[in-house]
Structure 1
Amino acid sequence: MSIHTPLPRSSKRTRALFLGPAFVAAIGYIDPGNYATNIQAGADYGYLLLWVVVWANLMAALIQMLSAKLGLATGESLASMLGKRLPRWAVYPYWIQAEILAMATDIAEFIGAALGFKLLFGFTLMEGAVITAIISWAVLSLETRNLKTLQIVIGGMLLTVALIYVAELLFSHPHPASVLEGALIPGFDGRDSVFLAAGILGATVMPHVIYLHSAMSKAELVRYGKIHRKTIFRSTKWDVAIAMTIAGFVNLSMLAMAAAVFYGNPSAESGNIENAHETLTPLLGTIAAQIFGASLLIAGLASTIVGTLAGQEIMSGFVRFRIPLWLRRAITMTPSFIIIALGLNVTQVLVYSQVVLSFGIALALIPLVLFTSDRRLMRGYANPAWVKWLGWSTVAVVVSLNGYLLATS
């Protein structure tokens, strides 16, 4: 007979206990890829694409709720469900594409953290990459001891980045009416704006955290027992709502700051993250530039850790095989070291990696909507009709946007 951890008697303490998995997932929504796409969107188009950030974060909240629900209702992660239910011939190709997407994610995250070290402390990118590798290895060691401790550490990083962007908004003074208009009224300005919209979507709705969130919810169910499934599910709604609100605020603030500072400013070379950092000093002051670098560093470190955990879950779920986290960390960071050694434009690499990710969203999202709509599988937690409609509408938007990019390439 398995022994489960008892829940606190207080409902508030219970809700607080289950804050964590969505905060880990939310880090994927504010990784360095978001910095590249949001800053470029704000610099090139002002407040025009703020509505994309709003809708992408609403999609993200829905998707993460579905992912958490799948883990709680079935006791399985999305990756393990696919590994069991796909035809045998399809399992390995599906696993490989998921691994490629996870590695594309890690490129953005790892390089972003290395760039943060460069901007803050003057290290070379290669030195920053080495330091990033050491720190990420150290933090990942927490996962083998206590998953909740790791969730608290990453959640603290998310809150720190959010506080930094409160300060950045105070420094940059975005125009309130323009922010409201850009956030509420959809619009594009040519193919390049659509390309950036796809990048924002790829940077916000992240395939790898769809896999990871379901696995973390499954772990909560195993720890506290199926008898508490309803209580955990209610608390998970708070977890997702709070975490996604914070991530959405950071993304909106990032783009609004770039629009306020860089758009229409001939002296602001902002298409590059490094140039954006350098330009912030004369425009907003040294403190604004330094805390920008700090936010990039923190977001990069946290998200590269999350990316490694997601990759581990993808392998374990699809092919029932695990490798040591240190070995996975070594494998996934190798492309980043190669990119840095070749001297490629890191901002362009970040933007293109996010566009690649946008093409993988549907491959994770379609089975997620199918599984969570299955009444027999979900044991009373199946999606109601309106959630199904929202889920399939999200799939349609993603596929349409990617189809447009392919057709106009």
Structure 2
Amino acid sequence: MDASRPSSIVPENGWRRERLLPSLPEVSRSIAVRPGSKWRRIAAFLGPGYLVAVGYMDPGNWATSLAGGSKYGYALLSVALISNIMAILLQALCARLAVATGRDLAQACRDAYPKPVSWVLWALAELAICATDLAEVIGTAIGLNLLFGLPLEIGVVITALDVFLILYLQNLGFRWVEAFVIALLGVIALCFGIQIALADPEWGGVLRGFAPTTEIVTNSDMLYLALGILGATVMPHNLYLHSGIVQTRAYGETLPEKREALRYATLDSTLALMFALTINASLLILAAATFHKTGRTEIAEIGEAHTLLQPLLGAAIAPTLFGIALLCCGLNSTVTATMAGQIVMEGFIDFRLPPWMRRLITRGLAIIPAAAVTIAYGESGTAKLLILSQVILSLQLPFAVIPLVLLTASRPKMGALVAPRWLTAIAAVIATVIVVLNVKLLVDFVMG
């Protein structure tokens, strides 16, 4: 190796390849972490977790939660809770990987595994990004239809224009991206808070719903929806996203500074995901209290749910709040999926495109099937496509989770910040559960 090359890209112990450019180079280390009070330093790290939390509220999650809540009442709340716990632990590992190695998950996979393996992981990650984007395209189009009466086909095409919003926010600075996302999350929380108050759910049933039951595993239909909720919550692209955007903070390179950055980044993602659980559970509770309670157990279409909210809740504002929250979810998910797509492509194959071009390519891959299904089958077809997209995401999870667990458990790669054995053991159990559930889903599907 040429001694004149910067030491930061010399291959390190445990890695097959050298470290190249940082993740999201245009915003890497762009947010200062200034000396000062503890609270001021904590505040500097708050933000990335809320971008990750958007995965709980993307439009694909609406379809699975509406279907699960209307058909099984509060029973699948336990899945939302378990998914949330899984997400908190996995996102903590993502932050640990980023802080310890200076790599996002895509870069770490590229640098740790042989090329054939990393290329397969890249292809599967891109499939997950497309499934995520598909849900956003459909959800945003439905939101535009509910609020403004735009035909779904036109709404699908309009979603391609959001690339300009993202570019504008990125040019202002990464803090503006975070502020935009958090502001929309506040609007979503307000909308759901009002709707839950109108629905007046049975809180005893809600509490019982957080206790897991064996029926979730033995009932194949319930398992299908449970996996959809799992895929909509612990999303593969969130693992790549979080490990990239944590590095927007300009923390130091010493071990104490990295330990502090890891502690505060974990606190940020944990708080954000607990907030997201509240929103995620609210959608399922709303469906259970409104539709399951009145015997409408087959509600899966977002548009049908929107139409029925007013007569069932007796408030004219309920459908409008539903539509506003859906549109905000679609816009938020757009921002995070764009960055995740950039991290995946640049991290795995070091192929860098202008953000606008990358966004248009991924949007095109999602718009084509969404437009085709919308034109051919209408709203009922898009509802089924939304649920299917979330199951696809769930099936992709092992191919992101397993490398994450293995990498963060490696002391040669992680150094002093290697994951504790207890954390690795719990993460391994999570990965095993995900794999077993996915195998059962595939077996049930093949057996009809």
Give TM class, smaller chain.
over 0.9
* 1:217 to 2:253 alignment: no
* 1:73 to 2:74 alignment: no
SS in 2 for 1:358: helix
Matched residue, 1:38: 65
* 1:260 to 2:289 alignment: yes
Cα 1:288–1:81 shift into 2, 3 Å: same
Deviation at 1:145, TM superposition (A): 4.3
Report if the CA contact (8 A) 1:54-1:183 is conserved: yes
TM-score using structure 1 length: 0.95
Report if the CA contact (8 A) 2:163-2:356 is conserved: no
Matched residue, 2:114: 87
Report if the CA contact (8 A) 1:45-1:259 is conserved: yes
Deviates more, 1:129-138 or 1:390-399: 129-138
* Distance in structure 2 (CA, Å) of the matches to 1:387 and 1:130: 44
SS in 2 for 1:351: helix
* Distance in structure 2 (CA, Å) of the matches to 1:120 and 1:268: 25
Report if the CA contact (8 A) 1:169-1:257 is conserved: yes
Amino acid at match of 2:108: M
SS in 1 for 2:215: coil
* 1:388 to 2:424 alignment: yes
Matched residue, 1:243: 272
Matched residue, 1:397: 433
Deviation beyond 6 Å, 4+ runs, structure 1: 1-4
Cα 1:116–1:253 shift into 2, 3 Å: same
Identity of aligned residues (%): 39
Deviation at 1:234, TM superposition (A): 2.1
SS in 2 for 1:379: helix
* Distance in structure 2 (CA, Å) of the matches to 1:329 and 1:403: 33
- Root-mean-square deviation over aligned CA pairs: 1.9
Report if the CA contact (8 A) 2:130-2:366 is conserved: no
Matched residue, 1:306: 336
Matched residue, 2:324: 294
Please point out which of 152, 155, 168 is paired with 1:125: 152
> What is the correspondence of 1:6-405 to structure 2 with a 5 Å cutoff?
7-188=34-215, 190-220=219-249, 223-227=250-254, 228-266=257-295, 270-284=299-313, 285-338=315-368, 339-343=370-374, 344=377, 345-405=381-441
Report if the CA contact (8 A) 1:201-1:358 is conserved: yes
* Distance in structure 2 (CA, Å) of the matches to 1:379 and 1:286: 58
Deviation at 1:129, TM superposition (A): 2.7
* Distance in structure 2 (CA, Å) of the matches to 1:57 and 1:118: 31
TM-score using structure 2 length: 0.87
* Distance in structure 2 (CA, Å) of the matches to 1:336 and 1:216: 24
- The total of aligned residue pairs comes to 407
CA-to-aligned-CA distance 1:176-214 (integer Å, 9 cap, x gap): 111111112324262100100010000000000100111
* Distance in structure 2 (CA, Å) of the matches to 1:364 and 1:255: 27
* Distance in structure 2 (CA, Å) of the matches to 1:216 and 1:365: 18
CA-to-aligned-CA distance 1:9-29 (integer Å, 9 cap, x gap): 011111111111111111112
Deviates more, 1:231-240 or 1:278-287: 231-240
Report if the CA contact (8 A) 2:83-2:234 is conserved: yes
Deviation at 1:157, TM superposition (A): 1.7
Matched residue, 2:20: none
Report if the CA contact (8 A) 1:52-1:186 is conserved: no
SS in 2 for 1:160: helix
Report if the CA contact (8 A) 1:137-1:329 is conserved: no
Report if the CA contact (8 A) 1:159-1:246 is conserved: no
Cα 1:300–1:9 shift into 2, 3 Å: same
Report if the CA contact (8 A) 1:49-1:186 is conserved: no
CA-to-aligned-CA distance 1:278-334 (integer Å, 9 cap, x gap): 000111122111111111100111102211110110010100111112112212222
Residue segments in structure 1 that go unaligned for 5+ positions in a row: none
SS in 1 for 2:416: coil
CA-to-aligned-CA distance 1:362-388 (integer Å, 9 cap, x gap): 110111111111123222222222211
SS in 1 for 2:229: helix
SS in 2 for 1:330: helix
Amino acid at match of 2:146: L
Deviates more, 1:238-247 or 1:371-380: 371-380
CA-to-aligned-CA distance 1:250-277 (integer Å, 9 cap, x gap): 1111101100100152467622111000
* Distance in structure 2 (CA, Å) of the matches to 1:225 and 1:37: 42
CA-to-aligned-CA distance 1:98-135 (integer Å, 9 cap, x gap): 11111111000121111111111111113323433323
Cα 1:106–1:173 shift into 2, 3 Å: same
* Distance in structure 2 (CA, Å) of the matches to 1:136 and 1:159: 22
Amino acid at match of 2:201: P
Report if the CA contact (8 A) 1:168-1:288 is conserved: yes
Cα 1:250–1:374 shift into 2, 3 Å: same
Report if the CA contact (8 A) 2:236-2:396 is conserved: yes
